[in-house]
Chain A
Amino acid sequence: KAGVTQTPRYLIKTRGQQVTLSCSPISGHRSVSWYQQTPGQGLQFLFEYFSETQRNKGNFPGRFSGRQFSNSRSEMNVSTLELGDSALYLCASSPFPGSYNEQFFGPGTRLTVL
């Protein structure tokens, strides 16, 4: 069974630009969560999608948004990038919300904002 796929793996952008990251969950998984990992703040929850609906959102500004498609693939978008947005963005998929023991993380997308 293929794991969680995130594209691209690495990305360099400049301040003010916008970026879209993609996450393909494990086949059969319908819940997708996004996390931001930075050296200073650790792993922080961004949002969670299930059946194309956002179920939870973390404490991030409105510049961070996401969506989920009918095939459970998810994208997150960050507009008007700031230097502090440089981070590893991790996506995790699971069959259903709360099925932690069956939740798997992707390798992440490393975003660098210059």
Chain B
Amino acid sequence: DQQVKQNSPSLSVQEGRISILNCDYTNSMFDYFLWYKKYPAEGPTFLISISSIKDKNEDGRFTVFLNKSAKHLSLHIVPSQPGDSAVYFCAASAANAGNMLTFGGGTRLMVKP
């Protein structure tokens, strides 16, 4: 049973526009959420995170929104740049789970010049 799901395997966006990547979860014990970016032949790179006590967190062009009642989070990238083209993973953790993260299946973002 997938506890973290990214239902869109791919997304194509024009440079300069907004990219919105979505993630749904089922485990109500999750209290911390993260987004990672992954290029081929490299490990995932941490992008941005959000605690369950917040509903929004911003870092430059990246904003993560959390809707706890819907068990849904999204990553907004504005404006999108060609260098943002990568696979994006959302991940979730429950309290006292150490560094044990449950990952979604990933969404491949392609930003066209």
Q: Which of A35, A44, A100 has the most C-beta atoms of chain B within 10 angstroms of its own C-beta?
A: A100
Within 8 Å CB of A35, what residues of B? 101, 103
State which residues 28-52 of A face B: CB under 8 Å: 31, 33, 35, 42-45, 48, 50
Interface residues on A, range: 20 to 34
Chain B interfacial residues counted at CB < 8 A = 23
Segment among B18-26, B43-51, B66-74 that sits at the interface with chain A: B43-51
Contacting pair B103 A44 (CB below 8 A): yes
Residues of B within 8 A of A27 (CB): none
B46 interface neighbour in A31, A48, A101, Cβ under 8 Å: A101
Partner of B99, one of A4, A100, A108: A100
Q: Is B34 an interface residue (CB 8 A)?
A: yes
CA distance A33 to B93 in the complex (A): 13
Interface string of B36-78 (1 = CB under 8 A from A): 1000011111100100000000000000000000000000000
B89 interface residue, CB < 8 Å from A? yes
Task: Give the distance in Å from the alpha carbon of A91 to the alpha carbon of B99 in the complex.
Answer: 12
Chain A, Cβ-Cβ closest to B96: A98
B89, A43: Cβ atoms closer than 8 Å: yes
Residues of chain B whose beta carbon lies under 8 Å from any beta carbon of chain A: 32, 34, 36, 41-46, 49, 89, 91, 93, 97-106
A-B pairs, top 7 by smallest CB distance, nearest first, are A105-B43, A97-B98, A43-B103, A42-B105, A56-B100, A33-B99, A55-B98
Q: Would you mind naming 29 contact pairs between A and B with Cβ atoms under 8 Å apart? A: A4-B43, A33-B101, A35-B101, A42-B89, A42-B105, A43-B44, A43-B89, A43-B106, A45-B101, A45-B102, A55-B98, A56-B97, A56-B99, A56-B100, A58-B100, A91-B43, A92-B99, A97-B98, A98-B93, A98-B97, A98-B98, A100-B32, A100-B34, A100-B99, A100-B101, A101-B46, A104-B43, A105-B43, A107-B41
